[in-house]
Chains A and B, each alone.
Chain A
Amino acid sequence: MDSYTTKIRELSARLLKDEKVDFIIGFKQGTIPMAASPHIARTPEQAEQFIWDNNCRLNLANYLTDRKEKIGIIAKGCDSRNIVTHIIENKIKREQIHIIGVPCQGMIDKTKTSSLFDEEITEYSETDDSITLKTLSGEKNIPKNEVLNSNCTTCTHRNPVIYDELVADLVEEQIIDDLFPDVRRIEEMTADEKWNHFEDLLKNCIRCYACRNACPLCYCPTCFVDESGPQWVGKGQDTTDVRTFHYLRAYHCAGRCTDCGACVEACPMDINVRDFTRKLNKDSLEIYGWEAGLDETNRPPLDVYSPEDPNDFIK
């Protein structure tokens, strides 16, 4: 992705030099293998630190919420969809942002990748379609598509949906027959199996709220779990409280989630947080024909009423 990096730096430096924006939000090289860290550049020199690689998994729209400045932002497909959602929900104004669009070719799953090794990975490098990883005792080359992030394998919006300029030509979108094989697997479970599946998913949750805080949708000034007057949810490790947090959060994202995977990326305990939101995305698509963040002029289905809304749930 060296060509992307070069172009991002070039476009960013120009924007800053011409004072078109106050600062630009992008990624810089992380201090550890397989990490890219969100970075703010206020000067052309700071823009030299921008990079683009298979580890730019986080969603940068998260850093736009309620900002008042004129901001440049590097956005792949899912980031751009959350920017659209932010515009719809009045968290940022379109004219405040200059979007440097990145036609995305998918990110790699760091957990899947590390689980291929018994030791810690000490070095990471990549070419267009493969990655090379070093550990203390050896080196391995893996085709990129074998360790693609799960949400990237079913992504049909790799290209940014809105942008002011692009770092490269648009990429071909994936044609996916079955967008929700994972949801179908859970749907087919018995009630007990479902219960056990979600209990197992949450058993290591430490309630650090990294999933919530990495999510661009979670911008409530005070999240319901942090409300203290009255306090609605206990703060300890009681499983009822842990479940309540995850289920309510997921429902608050219904019809808004772009399946960017930032929640999974952020979770230190490797919880597949998307298992909570994916069914809602599937329902949004099947019931309302809706995918979040594609259109600045339409509000999410649960935000509006239409006489044509399906009423099948009324028995």
Chain B
Amino acid sequence: MKFITIDKKDWANGIEKSRGIYQLFGPVKDKNEFFIKHLEKDTLPAMEYDNSVMSAKSIIFPQTEKMLTATLDESQEDHHIMKKIETDDTPRAVIGIRPYDAKAMKLLKLNFDTDDYRDPYWCDAYEATTFVGLGINKPGPFDFSTSTGTGPFCDDGLDVLLADLDDKYLAKVLTDKGAAFVGACGFDTVADEKESLALFDILRKEAEKNIASHIETDKLKEKTVLELHEAPFWDDLSFSCINCGTCTYVCPTCWCFDIQDEVKQKESVRLRIWDTCMSPLFTRHATGHNPRASKTQRVRQRFMHKLKYFLDKYDQGIMCVGCGRCVKSCPVNIDIREVCNIMNSYEKQA
């Protein structure tokens, strides 16, 4: 691990220089909100952003992604044979990603890269990407990341972690990928390791003081799936839910997808599209049977997956990084912090 100081006067030049090797992504302001997007030429990442409405997951896992294609033109020899689409897996860097979004990528990896299966689309994109995080000096009121195994200066899942020190950035270079990106920018003013570590520690503690909301997750593991599944609180918790897809789409760790075939004239494409467990169509069987036909069942599925099934399956904490996006965006204010605490403290009555 090494530390680099970047004078903000050199920032724009360095970022531009890196374009020789990397496609760049980062926060961009659009109307009143920030989005993590491809940075067009001469656009710098808007590093002053509070948070983006959508997480950074679409950089690796686009909402609509072409996977396979085939021609239906029977004069072609290979007609009706699905072929993998050519993907662009040249190096890319996401600049200014929030530490909890990088942690979320690591959690997603557990699903897309297993001992049995390796999802080539997700994994190739992930491997091509360098994650340049930005520590959060002033976490907002929705942030509860310190109780989900990450935090405003957590470096888990990042290649570089930047700290904003007003006139300069202090960069903690965590991986070879990170070193290569910093090198491509021409940032090479080495900072003292001990001092830098101490500084990061101070920043982290200061930032964490701002985090006022916390969740309790300590008892989730010891409860049985059935106990929680059959708990009496789901009907009232889900009453206000309108079953839109907002929570799942803004979530950095929701990964469920649907596969769709679309045909236009002689060209057929197989698409992967974000799915949402809030929709009545989610996992509906071809027979017409719907395993989760009611709203309550669907709401329960989302929270059980994030806070119980995932925890039991991987033993790597809950599938929530505490970014607070769903808390902020839910049209009816269903609050995962509240739901988590209710689940955690639930005791079955004898």
Q: Which A residues lie at the B interface, using CB under 8 A?
A: 30-33, 35-40, 58, 62-63, 111, 114-115, 119-122, 136, 204, 206-210, 212-214, 226, 228, 234-238, 265-270
Partner of A38, one of B53, B332, B337: B332
Bound CA–CA A206/B64 (angstroms): 10
Taking a contact as CB atoms under 8 Å apart, the answer to whether A119 and B50 are in contact is: yes
Partner of A206, one of B54, B260, B332, B334: B54
Bound CA–CA A213/B334 (angstroms): 15
Question: Which chain B residue shows the least CB distance to A207?
Answer: B245
Besides A234-B262, A269-B53, 18 other A-B contacts (C-beta < 8 A): A31-B327, A32-B328, A32-B333, A32-B335, A33-B141, A37-B332, A119-B138, A120-B140, A120-B142, A136-B210, A208-B246, A208-B276, A213-B243, A226-B279, A235-B258, A235-B260, A236-B260, A270-B32
Is B239 part of the binding interface, using a Cβ–Cβ cutoff of 8 Å? yes
Taking a contact as CB atoms under 8 Å apart, the answer to whether B249 and A208 are in contact is: yes
A216 to chain B, nearest CB (A): 11
Taking a contact as CB atoms under 8 Å apart, the answer to whether B141 and A266 are in contact is: no
Residues on the B chain within 8 Å of A111, using CB = 32
Most buried by B among A30, A32, A122: A32
Residues on the A chain within 8 Å of B53, using CB = 268-269
Bound CA–CA A269/B63 (angstroms): 15
Taking a contact as CB atoms under 8 Å apart, the answer to whether B240 and A39 are in contact is: yes
Residues on the A chain within 8 Å of B329, using CB = 268
**What are 20 A-B pairs at a CB distance below 8 A?**
A31-B338, A32-B141, A36-B333, A37-B332, A40-B239, A111-B32, A114-B32, A115-B32, A136-B138, A206-B54, A208-B249, A210-B242, A212-B244, A214-B331, A226-B280, A234-B262, A236-B260, A237-B63, A268-B246, A270-B33
A204 to chain B, nearest CB (A): 7
Question: Which chain A residue shows the least CB distance to B243?
Answer: A213
Taking a contact as CB atoms under 8 Å apart, the answer to whether B240 and A238 are in contact is: no
Bound CA–CA A26/B260 (angstroms): 40
Is B250 part of the binding interface, using a Cβ–Cβ cutoff of 8 Å? yes
Taking a contact as CB atoms under 8 Å apart, the answer to whether A238 and B64 are in contact is: yes
**Which 6 pairs show the lowest CB-CB distances between chains A and B?**
A236-B64, A266-B331, A210-B244, A208-B245, A38-B240, A213-B242
Taking a contact as CB atoms under 8 Å apart, the answer to whether A268 and B331 are in contact is: yes
Across chains A and B, the number of contacting residue pairs, with CB separation under 8 Å, is: 110
Most buried by B among A30, A122, A213, A268: A268
Q: Which B residues lie at the A interface, using CB under 8 A?
A: 30-33, 35, 50, 53-54, 63-64, 138, 140-142, 210, 236, 239-240, 242-246, 249-250, 258, 260, 262, 271, 273, 276, 279-281, 327-329, 331-335, 337-338
Question: Which chain A residue shows the least CB distance to B276?
Answer: A208
Most buried by B among A111, A206, A236, A270: A236
Residues on the B chain within 8 Å of A136, using CB = 138, 210
Residues on the A chain within 8 Å of B63, using CB = 206, 236-237
B282 to chain A, nearest CB (A): 11
Most buried by A among B244, B271, B328: B244
Partner of B245, one of A31, A37, A114, A209: A209
Residues on the A chain within 8 Å of B142, using CB = 32, 120
Residues on the B chain within 8 Å of A114, using CB = 32
Taking a contact as CB atoms under 8 Å apart, the answer to whether B273 and A235 are in contact is: yes
Given contacts A31-B335, A268-B246, contact A204 B140 (CB under 8 A): no
Question: Which chain A residue shows the least CB distance to B35?
Answer: A204
Residues on the A chain within 8 Å of B276, using CB = 208
Bound CA–CA A33/B328 (angstroms): 10
Partner of B246, one of A37, A40, A122, A210: A210
Bound CA–CA A234/B64 (angstroms): 11
Bound CA–CA A270/B328 (angstroms): 13
Taking a contact as CB atoms under 8 Å apart, the answer to whether B327 and A237 are in contact is: no
Taking a contact as CB atoms under 8 Å apart, the answer to whether A40 and B244 are in contact is: no
Partner of A37, one of B31, B32, B138, B240: B240
Question: Which chain B residue shows the least CB distance to A115?
Answer: B32
A230 to chain B, nearest CB (A): 12
Given contacts A119-B140, A120-B50, contact A266 B64 (CB under 8 A): no
Residues on the A chain within 8 Å of B246, using CB = 206, 208, 210, 268
Residues on the A chain within 8 Å of B54, using CB = 206
Bound CA–CA A206/B274 (angstroms): 10
Partner of B331, one of A204, A237, A238, A265: A265
Residues on the A chain within 8 Å of B236, using CB = 40
B215 to chain A, nearest CB (A): 12
Residues on the B chain within 8 Å of A33, using CB = 141
Bound CA–CA A207/B245 (angstroms): 8
Residues on the A chain within 8 Å of B328, using CB = 32
